[in-house]
Structure 1
Amino acid sequence: MTGTPFSVTTRTTGAGAVVTVEGELDVATAPRLRAGVAAQALGPGRLLVVDLAGVTFCDSSGISALIAARNVAEAAGSGIALAAVPTRVSRTFGLIGLADFFPTYPSAEAALSG
């Protein structure tokens, strides 16, 4: 937690919602991701895309927030996908057994069209 700027922005598309995360996703910022996801209008046939292209760091609290986002999407009957997962985060997912837990795409646009 170095005070690096952090932001969560959202946009709605015809297929669902995109939540874009930038900065360090950690114990101090994970609640903002959870709130951003909770504010989305999800439902059957919709897709929640979490765009991680701007994430510079992700600790266990950030991973927990991503798992919580998956649970929220599934409870609403929506799908979830991660977009532009940084290599270091992808490597961590592999190490902790989450490599196949989330569908991943190179970009939010690819996730929405895929």
Structure 2
Amino acid sequence: MSPLNITPDETPAGPALHVAGELDYASSATLSLRTEALHLSPGQRLVIDLSGVTFCDSAGITALLAARQHAQAAGAAMVLEAVPTHLIRIFTLTGLDQVFTFRPDDAA
């Protein structure tokens, strides 16, 4: 078991969160609380870096969808960055690859 670790950062475009560990039923509320607490402005971009996520279940996906909804409600965009292959597969199988915006790494 790998505990969830969320590291905040600021970019010129807006806030960023680096997420590492297991994003599951036991930890997804932590991500939800962190994203809900972010003050986003119209035109900003919330970046969630998933490069360190080792496992994600439906509760983790729900937390990511809630983060997207929070960003949209503020008039901001949300990008999932450096998404591991095992998560891309889940997003593709569930059709969420059509919902989320992906970016390969922080160089974009």
1:68 to 66, 69, 73: 66
The 8 Å contact of residues 18 and 108 in structure 1, kept in 2 or not, is answered as no
> Amino acid of the residue matched to residue 69 of structure 2?
N
Structure 1 runs not aligned, ≥5 long: none
CA displacement at 1:109 relative to structure 2: 3.9
Length-normalised TM-score, structure 1: 0.90
User: Where in structure 1 do 4 or more consecutive aligned residues deviate above 2 Å?
Assistant: none
Deviations 1:15-72 (CA, angstroms, capped at 9, x unpaired): 1010110000000110111111122220101000000000000000000000000000
Aligned to 1:58: 56
Shift in alpha-carbon separation, 1:18–1:109, aligned structure 2, 3 A = farther
- Number of equivalenced pairs: 108
Length-normalised TM-score, structure 2: 0.95
Q: Distance in 2 between matches of 1:24 and 1:7?
A: 9
Structure 2 runs not aligned, ≥5 long: none
Q: Distance in 2 between matches of 1:37 and 1:107?
A: 20
Q: Distance in 2 between matches of 1:28 and 1:12?
A: 27
